[in-house]
Amino acid sequence: MDLTQIAVALGTWALVICTGWLVKGQLSSAKEQAKIQLYLQLRKEFDGELIRARKLLARQILDGASHAEMNETS
């Protein structure tokens, strides 16, 4: 084996290692983005439910509903 073949082999392995490192970084970024998207979606749904429940409770309190009435309509 001459020096050129060794250099090509080392260059190829360096390229393989760099590509693997870049793929790992891309997968990590994709996972993080998916987590953030899921968090935002769940928060939107959860906050929507809470806002409706808070409005209902506020209406019941302002109308002077009893504790039993509040529990029945929830």
10 Å Cβ neighbour count for 47? 10
Report the pLDDT value the prediction gives residue 72, as an integer from 0 to 100: 63
- For residue 68, is pLDDT > 80? no
Lowest pLDDT segment from 30-34, 65-69, 70-74: 70-74
Range of the domain at 59: 3-72
Residue pair 38/51 in contact by the 8 Å Cβ criterion: no
Report the pLDDT value the prediction gives residue 57, as an integer from 0 to 100: 86
- For residue 4, is pLDDT > 60? yes
- For residue 61, is pLDDT > 60? yes
The number of distinct structural domains making up the chain is 1
